[in-house]
C-alpha cells in the first residue's frame, strides 16, 4: 500500500478543524463560559460540567461500536462522517444561544454537540489504516495531531475579539459569539475530507440478517482471537482516563487554584499548542525510527511528572510549567496510541474496531471526570482530584509493559 497523499492531506486538514473545536468548546471556551456564566461559578458548577462531559462520553461509547459496524458493512463511512460533522457544527453554533442560568439547556446542547463530534472522530480515526504503509502511520497520525494544534491557534485568534475580556467581564451574548465562529471554522475545514477521503469498496460487504448487529455480534464472539487488542484497549482505557480528565479540567483548575483570568488561560493554551505542534510531530518521527511503544512510555513518564506538579506545585510559574509540559505529551501520547492501534486491527473492519476504541476511550473518559468531581466534592480540593488520576497512568503503563503483540497481530498490522 502506498500513501494516499490527497486523502492523507484532507485527513490532516480535518484534524486542524476539529482541534479548533476542542479548544473553544470542551477545553477552554465553553467550559469556562458554562462554569462562570451558565452555572454561576459556584462550588456545584464543576459538578454540572463533569456530568455534561460524562454524559457525552457515555452516549458516544454506547453508540460508537454499532455505528462503526454499520459503516464498515455498508461502506457508508464518508456519508456518516459528513452527517455527524454537520450535526456537531450546527450544535456548536447553537451554544451561542445559551444564557446564564440555562444549566439544563446548556448541558443538553453541549452533550449533543460533543457526542456528534466524538462519533465523527471515531469514523475519522478509522481512515488511518488505509492512508499509508504501517511504518508511516505514526508520522501521518503525528502530523494530524501536531498540525491540528495550528487549527486551535487559528480558531483562537478568530474568536479573540469576542473573548478577550473574559467570560466574567463581558456581555454573555458577546462572548458566546465565539461558539458560532468555532462551528463555522470546523465546518469549513471538514469539507475536504468529506469529498476527498477514499471511498470504501462495498463489494462483498453486505451482511445477511441483522446487518450491523450481526457484524458486531460476530466481532464480540471472536474477541478471544484478539486478546492483544483487548489488552491494549485496557491500557488505553487507563491512560485515556487521566489524559481526558486533565484536558477537560485544566482551564477550571488554573482559574480556581491560581486565579487566572480567561484571557490568561487562553494565552497559556496558545503556548501549549505552540509547543504541541513540533512535539507531537517529533514523537511521531521517534516512533517510526525507534519504537512507537518506547516513545509512548516516554510520554507516560512525562505525564506522571505533570500530575505531580499540578497536585503539589505552588507559585506563579506553575501554570506556565504545566502548559509547556502538557504541550509535550497530550497530543503525542494519543497520536502514538492511535497509530499503534491502527496497525493491530483488520483494515477492512477499521470503523468497527475504532468504534470499540471509542467505546473504551469514551467510557473510560467518562469515569475520569466523575472521579475528579467526587474527589473534588469530598476533599474540597481540585489538587486532590488531579492527584487521584495518577494511578491510571501507572496501571496503563504496566499493562503495556507486559503486553507482547502476537505474530498474528503484527501480520494484520502489516496489511493495514
More confident residue, 325 or 388: 325
What is the overall mean pLDDT for the chain?
79
More confident residue, 248 or 406: 248
Q: How far apart are CA 370 and CA 127, in angstroms?
A: 31
At residue 191, does pLDDT exceed 50? yes
Please, which pLDDT band fits residue 250 given cuts at 50, 70 and 90? confident
DSSP single-letter state for residue 345: S
Q: Are 349 and 72 in contact (CB under 8 A)?
A: yes
Angle at which helix 262-289 crosses helix 318-344, to 10 degrees, equals: 40
Question: Is 211 within the bounds of a domain?
Answer: no
More confident residue, 70 or 18: 18
Question: Is 204 within the bounds of a domain?
Answer: no
Residue 114's pLDDT is what? Answer: 95
> ∠ CA 226-231-234 to the nearest 5 degrees?
130
Question: Is 188 within the bounds of a domain?
Answer: yes
Q: What is the pLDDT of residues 339-373, one digit of tens each?
A: 887 777 776 666 667 666 666 666 656 677 777 77
Q: Are 379 and 253 in contact (CB under 8 A)?
A: no
b vs e for 61-86, b when ≥16 Cβ sit within 10 Å of the residue's Cβ? Answer: bebbbbbbbbbbbbbbbbebbbbbbe
Question: Is 209 within the bounds of a domain?
Answer: no
DSSP single-letter state for residue 2: -
Kindly state the cell numbers that stand for 203.
463489494
Question: Is 21 within the bounds of a domain?
Answer: yes
Number of domains comprising the chain: 1
Residue 413's pLDDT is what? Answer: 36
Question: Is 210 within the bounds of a domain?
Answer: no
CA-wise closest residue to 118 among 10, 240, 217, 36: 240
Residue 204's pLDDT is what? Answer: 42
Please, which pLDDT band fits residue 182 given cuts at 50, 70 and 90? very high
Percentage of the residues of the chain whose pLDDT score is greater than 90? 20
Listed range (35-44, 104-113, 305-314, 339-348) with the worst mean pLDDT: 339-348
Q: How far apart are CA 268 and CA 27, in angstroms?
A: 12
Q: What is the pLDDT of residues 264-297, one digit of tens each?
A: 877 787 788 788 888 888 888 888 888 888 899 9
More confident residue, 305 or 228: 305
Task: For residue 74, report the phi and psi dihedrals to the nearest 5 degrees.
Answer: -105, -5
At residue 209, does pLDDT exceed 70? no
Question: Is 389 within the bounds of a domain?
Answer: yes
At residue 21, does pLDDT exceed 50? yes
Q: How far apart are CA 356 and CA 338, in angstroms?
A: 13
More confident residue, 402 or 180: 180
Residue 220's pLDDT is what? Answer: 56
Q: Which helix (H) or strand (E) holds 189?
A: helix 172-196
Q: What is the pLDDT of residues 95-148, one digit of tens each?
A: 999 999 999 999 999 999 999 999 998 888 888 777 766 666 777 777 777 787
CA-wise closest residue to 226 among 344, 399, 401: 344
Percentage of the residues of the chain whose pLDDT score is greater than 70? 80
Q: Which residue segment(s) compose the domain that 302 sits in?
A: 5-197+224-414
Please, which pLDDT band fits residue 414 given cuts at 50, 70 and 90? very low
Question: Is 217 within the bounds of a domain?
Answer: no
Q: Which residue has the cell 494530524?
A: 144
Residue 9's CATH number: 1.20.1250.20
Amino acid at each position: 500500500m502506498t500513501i494516499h497523499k490527497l486523502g492523507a492531506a484532507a485527513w490532516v486538514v480535518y484534524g486542524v478543524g476539529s482541534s479548533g473545536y476542542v479548544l473553544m468548546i470542551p477545553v477552554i471556551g465553553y467550559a469556562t463560559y458554562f462554569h462562570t456564566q451558565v452555572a454561576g461559578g459556584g462550588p456545584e458548577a464543576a459538578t454540572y460540567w463533569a456530568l455534561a462531559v460524562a454524559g457525552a462520553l457515555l452516549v458516544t461509547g454506547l453508540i460508537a461500536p454499532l455505528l462503526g459496524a454499520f459503516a464498515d458493512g455498508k461502506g457508508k463511512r464518508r456519508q456518516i462522517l459528513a452527517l455527524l460533522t454537520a450535526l456537531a457544527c450546527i450544535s456548536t453554533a447553537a451554544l451561542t444561544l445559551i444564557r446564564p442560568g440555562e444549566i439544563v439547556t446548556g448541558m443538553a446542547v453541549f452533550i449533543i454537540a460533543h457526542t456528534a463530534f466524538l462519533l465523527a472522530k471515531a469514523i475519522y480515526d478509522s481512515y488511518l489504516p488505509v492512508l499509508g504503509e504501517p511504518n508511516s502511520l505514526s508520522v501521518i497520525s503525528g502530523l494530524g495531531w501536531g498540525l491540528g494544534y495550528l487549527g486551535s491557534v487559528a480558531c483562537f485568534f478568530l474568536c479573540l475579539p469576542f473573548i478577550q475580556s473574559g467570560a466574567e467581564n463581558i456581555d454573555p451574548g458577546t462572548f458566546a459569539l465565539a461558539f458560532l465562529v468555532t462551528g463555522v471554522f470546523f465546518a469549513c475545514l471538514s469539507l475536504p475530507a468529506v469529498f476527498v477521503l477514499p471511498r470504501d469498496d462495498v463489494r462483498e460487504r453486505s451482511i445477511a440478517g441483522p446487518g450491523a448487529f450481526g457484524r458486531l455480534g460476530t466481532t464480540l464472539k471472536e474477541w478471544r482471537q484478539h486478546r492483544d487488542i483487548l489488552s491494549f484497549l485496557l491500557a488505553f482505557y487507563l491512560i485515556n482516563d487521566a489524559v481526558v480528565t486533565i484536558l477537560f479540567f485544566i482551564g477550571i483548575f488554573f482559574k480556581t487554584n491560581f486565579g487566572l483570568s480567561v484571557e490568561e488561560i487562553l494565552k497559556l493554551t496558545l503556548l501549549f499548542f505552540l509547543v504541541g505542534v513540533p512535539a507531537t510531530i517529533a514523537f511521531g518521527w521517534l516512533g517510526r525510527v525507534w519504537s512507537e511503544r518506547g516513545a509512548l512510555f516516554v510520554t507516560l513518564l512525562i505525564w506522571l511528572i505533570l500530575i505531580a506538579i499540578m497536585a503539589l506545585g505552588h507559585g506563579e510559574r506553575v501554570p506556565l510549567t504545566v502548559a509547556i509540559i502538557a504541550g509535550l505529551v497530550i497530543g503525542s501520547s494519543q497520536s502514538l496510541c492511535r497509530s499503534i492501534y491502527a496497525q493491530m486491527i483488520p483494515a477492512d473492519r477499521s470503523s468497527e474496531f475504532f468504534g470499540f476504541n471509542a467505546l473504551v476511550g469514551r467510557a473510560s473518559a467518562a469515569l475520569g471526570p466523575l472521579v475528579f468531581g467526587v474527589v473534588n466534592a469530598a476533599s474540597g480540593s481540585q489538587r486532590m482530584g488531579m492527584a487521584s488520576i495518577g494511578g491510571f497512568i501507572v496501571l496503563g503503563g504496566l499493562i503495556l509493559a507486559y503486553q507482547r503483540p502476537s505474530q498474528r497481530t503484527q501480520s494484520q498490522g502489516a496489511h493495514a
